Amino acid sequence: MDRLVKSRKSGPRTELFKFCVNLRLHLQLQIGLCFYQPQINVLQKSWCTATGIKRGAVMGAMDVFLQSFSPVSVLGTVVLILIGFHFILSKSRPQGHRQGPPGPKPLPIVGNLLQLDVKRLDQALMKLSKTYGSVFTVHMGPKKTVVLTGYKTVKEAFVSYAEEFGEREPSTVFKEANMHHGIVFSNGDSWKEMRRFALTNLKDFGMGKKVCEEKIIEECHFLIQKLKEFKGEAFDLSQHMNNAVSNIICSMIYGKRFEYDDLEFTTIVNRTNQVIQLSGSPSMQLYNMFPKIGKLVFSARKKMRDIVAANKQHHLMLLNRLKETLSPQMCRGVADAFLIRQQQHKESGITDSHYHNDNLLVTVMNLFGAGTETTSTTLRWAFLYMAKYPKIQDQVQQELRNVIGSRQIQVEDRQNLPFTDAVIHETQRVANIGPLAIPHRTSKDVMFQGHFIEKGTPVIAVLTSVLQDESQWEKPNVFYPGNFLSKDGKFLKRDAFMPFSAGRRACPGESLARMELFIFFTTLLQHFRFSPPPGVTEEELDLTPRVGGTMSPQPHTLCVTPLN
């Protein structure tokens, strides 16, 4: 004990440290069984030094207290004493040029949770930003977190200070599931190599190229035939959109598409969507803040762990099939490219390679998750908006008839469809399916906008505050395609359009998602009219988002009527 405290500087913190250690060593309580007389003599000197109170007075008070109350009362009082010290010591912290961002005063343990709505955390943080500015501190439970709001602040942090804000803050639930490999939740050299590999090979297998466009067009035709089976009756588009979009990334990863009634395929798709929705649920957010308590009280943790494990087994089964027929002369997709690289490293005697099985599995799952649910959810919002705003749907379909006619739409047509392009962008802006960027972490100490932020600090960017920044958008709070149109009707690119985040951690599949959104949206509007189900008016269609890992529409049905 004496050797331990000699290494610490003197002051109130040291005295509190001595008191707590001595309390731990000598105040032996067996709650509910018996109460042993504490050996309190060793506490006298440090306690009196810290408080300045006479030793006799302290000892007399402690004797009376300890002999008069139950063990539970004693323990509760000790907790209250420590909470009091928390406030005293926090107020005694020196203020200076290394002062961190301001923020609301946290409570012990729970932090600022009582001021935050975990169901709509983005809205709660935007409200706090009106008081504390665009860079401020909140405590997510016991964890100190810096929040960034507004276009200029988020862009400066993630682009101008890309290295300083470039690490990923690990999530408890994904760490437990061994998901800190791959490209989404990893850091360091492994992340750099996996991201480089994924971007290179996605491009090699068509991302942003004509071959990928052809795959999307082909999938559109399968989807059109499926939607025609409903003959204009109301139904839920979710499963069909999920299947169609998932097939695009499957063709790039595994080198093949699946039939919509393939049970193995639909199971993976549905489980992936479940994981994404569960990951953003209030219970999982609380579990990430309080992992030790969460293991006891949050059933969603076990459910998510089980789903992730089952999904891993399904992907492993698909990967093992590829291994059995692997040929370096015929690379079928991203997974084959990884396996071939892995084989080459093994033959070369490279033992510290990042091309190991964990990275393969998690990278595939990252690409599958990021490349399916997000695009599918955005498309479902787009068609819901078309049913909600029929005049806008009229304008889109009129532009398609005037410019395209009945031929197949191609990506190069985008430049001649400014209103349609504006509607797609406005859908992404208003739907705002990722209101908070996946948490970052500072890689080093940094002075940012006059605030000192320590290395290792979690950082949350509120993308809602960017996509609804009143200084950047003409009408930020309504669905208004004019936000992306110039006065003469031409498409207007907006710097504050950041649905894919920004900087080195921006979505690696952005170009693929943009191509999918354009071709699926325009092709389906060439063939169908989207409208509310019988008995429901446009005004009654609910645009309240469903909270989860992404902000998806509430369960709903639409009539998808074939056009003549």
Q: Indicate the annotated binding residues.
A: 507
- List Cβ neighbours of 35 (8 Å cut-off, separation of 6 or more): 29, 70, 71
d(CA 427, CA 388): 12
d(CA 440, CA 457): 8
**b/e per residue, 494-531, with b = 16+ CB within 10 A?**
eebbbbbbbbbbebbbebbbbbbbbbbbbbbbbbbbbb
Q: What is the DSSP string of 177-245?
A: TT-SSTTTS--HHHHHHHHHHHHHHHHHTTTTSHHHHHHHHHHHHHHHHHHHTTTT-EE--HHHHHHHH
d(CA 379, CA 384): 9
Considering only CA atoms, which of 214, 166, 227, 213 is closest in space to residue 446? 166
The β-bridge relationship of strands 458-461 and 143-148 is: parallel
Q: What's the CA angle centered on 156, arms 154 and 160, to 5 degrees?
A: 135
Residue 100 exposure: Cα atoms within 13 Å on the Cβ side: 17
Sign of CA dihedral 28, 30, 33, 35: positive
**Exposed/middle/buried for 40, CB within 10 Å: 0-12, 13-18, 19+?**
middle
- Which stretch of DSSP H or E encloses residue 460? strand 458-461
For helices 373-388 and 263-279, give the axis angle rounded to 10 degrees: 80
Q: Is-contact 249 367, C-beta < 8 A?
A: yes
Known binding-site residues for heme equal 507
Q: What's the CA angle centered on 432, arms 254 and 141, to 5 degrees?
A: 95
Q: What is the CA radius of gyration of the chain?
A: 28
Separation of first and last alpha carbons in the chain: 86
d(CA 245, CA 227): 14
Place of tokens 């354009």: 518
Which residue type occupies 31? I
- List Cβ neighbours of 183 (8 Å cut-off, separation of 6 or more): 191, 194, 195, 198, 363, 366, 367, 508
- Residue 60: C-alpha distances to residues 47, 82, 520, 524 (Å): 13, 21, 79, 83
Q: Where are the alpha helices (DSSP H) in 371-441?
A: 373-388, 390-403, 418-431
Considering only CA atoms, which of 127, 106, 124 is closest in space to residue 116? 124
Q: Is-contact 487 525, C-beta < 8 A?
A: no
Q: Is-contact 108 83, C-beta < 8 A?
A: yes
